Amino acid sequence: MPAYDSSMRNLAKARAVGRLPRPWRSSDEARMIRRYAFFWHTSRGIKPSGRDWARQLGISHTWVQKLVRKFQADSSEMYREQRRSGDPNFAQLSRARERTKQLRERGELRPSGRAKLIEAYLKSSRRD
């Protein structure tokens, strides 16, 4: 794996020529994850831990923590989103994830970590 310094240099070069890195997921899926994180953050009573909630959403717990900090700083945007769209539901999340899958297949998104591992394994097995 490349060193942090070389990764940052490469990122700076890409930004200098106006080419930002491709996102990990579709904007629809990212929006749904924000809505689910807000739903979790504002729910009362017994609720799963942040790590468990992140695991259920398929994201890192640090992203949930980052979102919660944003909600604590200013949650007005998320309250507007919740009034406009209601509580998130699984069907919406499934559609958003399907959209992410389509974009990834077309090469518009970064490959998943699992896809990178499989590709690296296939490359190494071809050499042998």
Band of residue 98 on the pLDDT scale cut at 50, 70, 90:
very high
Mean pLDDT for the stretch of residues 36-58: 91
Angle between helices 27-42 and 90-105 (to 10 degrees): 150
Band of residue 118 on the pLDDT scale cut at 50, 70, 90:
low
Angle between helices 50-57 and 27-42 (to 10 degrees): 150
Mean pLDDT for the stretch of residues 35-57: 91
Contact 95, 87 (CB under 8 A): no
Residue 10 lies inside a defined structural domain of this protein: no
Number of domains in the chain: 1
Calculate the alpha carbon distances from 13 to 23, 35, 60 in Å: 17, 34, 27
Take residue 48 and report the two structure tokens written for it.
Answer: 């799963």
Take residue 51 and report the two structure tokens written for it.
Answer: 């790590």
Q: Is the pTM of this model over 0.85?
A: no
How confident is the prediction for the chain on average, in pLDDT?
A: 85
Residue 4 lies inside a defined structural domain of this protein: no
Residue 85 lies inside a defined structural domain of this protein: yes
Residue 109 lies inside a defined structural domain of this protein: yes
Better-predicted residue by pLDDT, 79 or 7:
79
Residue 113 lies inside a defined structural domain of this protein: yes
Residue 20 lies inside a defined structural domain of this protein: no
Torsion of CA 106, 111, 115, 120, to 10 degrees: 110
CA dist 77 and 116 (Å) reads 35
Q: What is the pLDDT of residue 64?
A: 93
Q: What is the span of the domain harbouring residue 122?
A: 26-127
Residue 11 lies inside a defined structural domain of this protein: no
